[in-house]
Amino acid sequence: MIDKSPEYRFKKALGVSMMLLLVAFAALPTLWALILSVRSPSAVFEPIWESPLALTLENFFNITRSDFPKALLNSFITAGSATVLAMIIGVPAGFALAKSRVSGKFIASWVLLLLRMAPPVGFVIPLFLLYVNAGLIDTYLGLIVAYMTLTLPLVVWSMWNSFAQVPDELIEAALMDDATLTQAFLLIVLPAARPGAVAAAILAFLVAWNDFFFSLIITRSSTTTAPVAVMNFISFDSVDWASIAVASIALTLPILPLMAIANRYIVQSLSGAVKG
């Protein structure tokens, strides 16, 4: 079926140009941020074709002298801790929900979904008042607890999906061989569900890393995370666009490899069938 008619060629060209348009839409803003990050501060407001060589790496050095690296470290500490804690608590729970016959599973799945969908402003108001009174404003602990509201439901939900795909026979066989449930879980089931667990950890880290709202409300200067610290480059009368571009790249770079690993599992963890 090789069709070389003009009509076919026209349609083919139409399809290809539409795809190119979509590629441009996806790629150009990123390219723009990359360009902005290497523009000389004096040439930022000139069109790139007027001074294409006004490039510099100075912006990258400048940002190391600001508070931003500290904020990046804060982001790593808080998002990392919230992920590890959510995995420790959430993975066994996901396993039990997938394989046991405990009642109330539908309610559990609804509560988990609800928590993932509830507006953060609802959590943050009572947390803020609590933290003000408990002295938890601007502490790692306070922020990690807040992030747990994001990461824990996500981990339980997506591990529930992952474990549901592990065959029951695997567990039964282990139990028949006199393994305890804990042994069967740790030695047999968990290794079988490892890709799903890696994906769950990555997704949990992503939501915590991405957070802006919690950090904006419950941190001040010492534990503020990178997404909020970027805003410091916008002052009342001027905007340091080059630093913003560098900071945006710094915020994205740790995520890219994680996204490349986890993208296949994003679908699974969101819409995968929960066995009711």
Please, which of residues 202-231 interact with other proteins by CB under 8 A?
209-210, 212-213, 216-217, 227-228, 230-231
CB–CB of 113/170 below 8 Å? Answer: no
Rounded to the nearest whole angstrom, what is the least distance from the CB of residue 258 to other proteins in the complex? 8
How far apart (Å, rounded) are the C-alpha atoms in residues 214 and 228? 10
Which stretch in 51-59, 62-70, 141-149, 189-197 sits in contact with other proteins by CB under 8 A?
Answer: 141-149
Rounded to the nearest whole angstrom, what is the least distance from the CB of residue 93 to other proteins in the complex? 3
Choosing from 23, 73, 170, 261, the residue that interacts with other proteins (CB under 8 A) is 23
Rounded to the nearest whole angstrom, what is the least distance from the CB of residue 28 to other proteins in the complex? 9
Choosing from 13, 57, 73, 129, the residue that interacts with other proteins (CB under 8 A) is 129
Binding pattern for the stretch 145-164 against other proteins, x by CB under 8 A and - elsewhere: x--xx--xx--x--------
Rounded to the nearest whole angstrom, what is the least distance from the CB of residue 11 to other proteins in the complex? 8
Size of the chain in residues: 276
Burial class, 228, CB count within 10 angstroms (exposed 0-12 / middle 13-18 / buried 19+)? buried
Residue list 162-201, contact with other proteins (CB under 8 A): 175, 180-182, 185
Instruction: Please report whether residue 54 would count as binding other proteins according to CB under 8 A.
Output: no
Question: How many residues bind to other proteins according to rule CB under 8 A?
Answer: 91
Residue list 64-123, contact with other proteins (CB under 8 A): 89-90, 92-93, 95-97, 99-102, 106, 109-111, 113-123
**Taking Cα atoms as reference points, which of 116, 132, 119, 122 lies closest to residue 218?**
132
Per-residue DSSP letters for 224-266? --HHHHGGGGB-SS-B-HHHHHHHHHHHHTTHHHHHHHHHHHH
Instruction: Please report whether residue 26 would count as binding other proteins according to CB under 8 A.
Output: yes
How far apart (Å, rounded) are the C-alpha atoms in residues 146 and 120? 10
Which stretch in 11-19, 54-62, 65-73, 135-143 sits in contact with other proteins by CB under 8 A?
Answer: 11-19
Question: Which C-beta is closer to other proteins: that of 73 or that of 111?
Answer: 111
Instruction: Please report whether residue 14 would count as binding other proteins according to CB under 8 A.
Output: no
Tokens 């047999």 identify what position? 188
Which stretch in 30-38, 65-73, 135-143, 194-202 sits in contact with other proteins by CB under 8 A?
Answer: 30-38
Q: CB-side exposure of 200: number of CA atoms within 13 Å?
A: 31
**Taking Cα atoms as reference points, which of 218, 224, 94 lies closest to residue 164?**
94
* Bridge partners for 55 per DSSP: 39
Choosing from 78, 136, 196, 241, the residue that interacts with other proteins (CB under 8 A) is 241
Q: Which residues contact 55 (CB under 8 A, 6 or more apart)?
A: 38, 39, 40
CB–CB of 42/54 below 8 Å? Answer: yes
Give the SS3 label for residue 250.
helix
Give the SS3 label for residue 263.
helix
